[in-house]
Structure 1
Amino acid sequence: MSLTVPSALLEQARAGEVSDEDFLRCIESSLPYAWSVISETAEKLRANGGPSAINENVPPTEEAWGQLFRLVASDSMRAAVEKHYDVKLAFQNCCKVGLFSPSATEEYREFTSARAQVLNQKPELLNC
């Protein structure tokens, strides 16, 4: 299961729309490692003032790997995080997460290119 959904949020979803804030809280509490990767990278992007920030830290546990995979694999979670931080999120390999400012179209295109994916391959991450 991707998220641990509180009963109040489940009832809210059954009754209609889920608020962005409630959904983000659910993501943060369900996937704390993944949330920390995204929020720390977003802070790095704000601090450096550049077009992008990249996190290449290898998750410390299988659980952490799983959290990161679940967040980046879900269109709805990715969209919520991108909207919240006003970024475009990209994922390469099993742990390389990039956050891009909305105007960084060339940097995003390069990060998500086949060339970048091929160049990012590392034997030690073969079975991640």
Structure 2
Amino acid sequence: MSLTVSPALLEQAHAGKINDADFLRCIESSLPYAWSVVSGTAEKLRANGDRFAINEDVPPTDEAWGQLFRLVASDAMRKAVEQHYDVRIAFQNCCKVGIFNSDAVAEYEDFTSTRAQILNQKPELLNC
């Protein structure tokens, strides 16, 4: 299961309207490693005043890998986190996460290009 959903959040879903802050708390508490990667990279972006920031830390455990995969693979979760930090998130290979300001269009396109994907291949990440 991707998220540990509280009864209150489940009630919100049944009622048809989910509070964004409650959903973000659910993501953060359910996927703490993935949240730390995205939030830390977004904070790095803001602190440095750059247009984008890349995190290439290899997750320390299979559980951490799974959390990162679930966050970036879910359109709903990724969209909520992107809106929260006012960024675009991109994912490449098993652990390379890019966080982009909205005006970093060229950088985002380069990161998500087929060329970048090919150049990012590493033998040690063959079965990640």
TM-score of the aligned structures, taking structure 2 as reference length: 0.99
Partner of 2:42: 42
Quote the offset at 1:16 in angstroms.
1.6
Q: Distance in 2 between matches of 1:109 and 1:55?
A: 17
Could you tell me which residue of structure 1 aligns to residue 18 of structure 2? 18
Which AA in structure 2 matches 1:107? E
Structure 1 unmatched ranges of 5 or more:
none
SS across alignment from 1:98: strand
Does 2:100 correspond to 1:100?
Answer: yes
SS at match of 1:121: coil
2:71 matched residue in structure 1: 71
Q: What does residue 127 of structure 1 align with?
A: 127
Distance 2:29 2:50 in 1: 29
Superimposed CA distance per residue, residues 9-45 of structure 1 (whole angstroms, 9 cap, x where no aligned partner): 1011101210110100000000000000000000100
For the aligned residue pairs, the C-alpha RMSD in angstroms reads: 0.4
Counterpart CA distance in 2 for 1:80 and 1:4 is 16
Partner SS state of residue 12, structure 1: helix
Q: Which amino acid aligns with 1:27?
A: I
Letter in 2 for 1:122: K
Unaligned runs of at least 5 residues, structure 2? none
The corresponding residue for 1:56 is 56
The count of aligned residue pairs is: 128
**Match of 2:102, as an amino acid?**
P
The ranges of structure 1 where at least 4 consecutive aligned residues each deviate by more than 3 angstroms after the TM superposition are: none
Q: Give the % identical residues.
A: 77
- SS of the residue 1:14 aligns to: helix
